[in-house]
Structure 1
Amino acid sequence: MHGLGLEGFNPDSEREAALAFSITVEADEQQIPQHHHRKGQLILALSGAITCEVENARWMVPPHHAVWLPGNVAHSNRATPGAQLCFLFIEPGCVQMPEVCCTLKVSALVRELILSLAARGFRERQQPATLRLVQVLFDELPRQPQMQLQLPVSSHAKIRLMVETMEQAPAEWQTLGQWAQRFAMSERNLARLVVKETGLSFRRWRQQLQLILAIRLLIGGEPVQNVARTLGYDSTTAFITMFRKGLGQTPGRYLAVLGQG
């Protein structure tokens, strides 16, 4: 299971409608290589955060959110050190879930249902009470709202290099012009490439990456002023404006809501 802390157990070998496991991410298990499951998988972040990458997108999962991965979708995961995660594996056809990957905002009820299921052993999972719990979980899961916490990416070498470089040094790589010069391309042709590969303009694509980086840093305890500086903003106010426009609330309010979840 690629260091998932499940002691070699393969959830795909079981036919139970729902299987759940809670883990703490060890320092040497932060990166989980690409793999896939026959079952659909919900990765719930209880504390810390996890980034999940599929073929054409990266999904950010802050606390009290989850990423949904339909069955047989190849993915890799990267978690923050010490992150508390819960994996929920769902047998195909048992509940109507999105057909594509997405980030869900998970209610307190759904979170507690998953944690309760994770705490039950094999015999207890066969009891009628657990089967009723799973049915309530399946009633609630389709009602969880989707959140726009994904970054479109592609296998194109230039797009991959842009993402990796801007993740490492976001303040240094701010403009389309910088990248056009790096690639010896015109800005117009590079702008067209970004739209073709990601579906977003360079400006919107870069801001989405900044939002994901900002959430990761804020969850890690960085002050808002430091996050703004790291992302290359001249003023904290400008960063807060961008954050509010992207997520509908200020960084302080966003963190407060996460803490209440």
Structure 2
Amino acid sequence: MISKMGQPSSKPPCSTAIDLSHLQGPAMAIRMDFADYEAEGHQHQHRQGQLVLALHGAVTCRAESGVWIVPPNSGVWIPGGVLHSNKVTSNARLTYLFVEPGAAMLPAECCTLAVSPMLREMILQVAELSKNAGRDAHVDRLVRVMLDELALMPRERLELPVSDHPKIALIAATLLADPKDRRTLGQWAEHVAVSERTLKRLMVQETGLSFGRWRRQLHLVIALRELAGGATVQRVAGDLGYESTTAFIVMFKKALGTTPSRYFAVRLLSTEHA
């Protein structure tokens, strides 16, 4: 289900620990520590919808026309039947919540959802009770309340829109691999052999964002992943090509309303016991 960044190992794939044929009722939760399982990076899909909840570390999900980042205290929602692949930071601890189609009023497209401390605890409790005692009336009541709460969670704008248009896809792949590349829109237009005006129009048409806003969102997505994985603010700022750490912090605060240290301090404080 998830691919870990790094070299292959002899650990078993995490899919061996998940058998959705035994799903009872409208939802099932499973905790996963990726110290115990090997990565799987191929695209796959489930009949059920899936919430990937990050307890520690971060998840990067590729699905449909976007890339979603899931830092601690957030979850990426993937509707049933949607092809997707995931990567996690090496320190990741996750909980999967699988939801039967129609069991709750959840988004019809992939998105990142904020997860309240109360909802997180309910998901963890469902995972624990299902593992230890199977399904009973108590678990079923908890699942119903949990799904009602999940449907109320606000979306977080932590996605990077991408496109299968060959010219936009080439730019996206290059910048995802080397985010410190600072070529201008005009230089990219020359690189992909179109006029600057045409590329400007294509970028908005295919992603909904101007090139400048799209690249800032790419930097934010990468920064969240790397910071959640344990990288320092100074290192991330350098890897993204910022002239100074202060310039990076200004970008981050403008996007998320707070500094990187405060952003993760709040999230890690609420999940440190998970």
TM-score by length of 1: 0.92
Corresponding position of 1:247: 256
Deviation at 1:26, TM superposition (A): 4.8
- Alignment check: 8 A CA contact 2:130 2:139 kept: no
**In 2, distance between residues paired with 1:19 and 1:6?**
15
Moved more, 198-207 or 233-242: 233-242
Corresponding position of 1:89: 98
Deviation at 1:43, TM superposition (A): 0.6
Q: Secondary structure at the match of 1:53?
A: strand
Moved more, 209-218 or 161-170: 161-170
The structure 2 residue matched to 1:70, chosen from 73, 79, 85, is 79
Number of residue pairs matched? 261
Structure 1 residue ranges (4+ consecutive) displaced by more than 6 angstroms after TM superposition: none
Q: 1:113 to 1:4 in 2, by over 3 A?
A: farther
**In 2, distance between residues paired with 1:126 and 1:192?**
54
Corresponding position of 1:166: 175
For structure 2, list consecutive stretches of 5 or more residues without a partner in the other structure: 3-11
The structure 2 residue matched to 1:33, chosen from 30, 38, 42, is 42
**In 2, distance between residues paired with 1:28 and 1:134?**
27
Deviation at 1:248, TM superposition (A): 1.2
Q: Secondary structure at the match of 2:14?
A: coil
Deviation at 1:12, TM superposition (A): 5.2
1:130 corresponds to which letter in structure 2? V
The structure 1 residue matched to 2:129, chosen from 100, 120, 125, is 120
Moved more, 83-92 or 125-134: 125-134
For structure 1, list consecutive stretches of 5 or more residues without a partner in the other structure: none
**In 2, distance between residues paired with 1:254 and 1:9?**
32
- Alignment check: 8 A CA contact 1:44 1:66 kept: yes
Taking only aligned residues, the RMSD between alpha carbons, in angstroms, comes to 2.1
Deviation at 1:174, TM superposition (A): 4.0
1:251 corresponds to which letter in structure 2? P
Deviation at 1:238, TM superposition (A): 1.7
- Alignment check: 8 A CA contact 1:4 1:23 kept: no
Deviation at 1:98, TM superposition (A): 1.4
Corresponding position of 2:213: 204
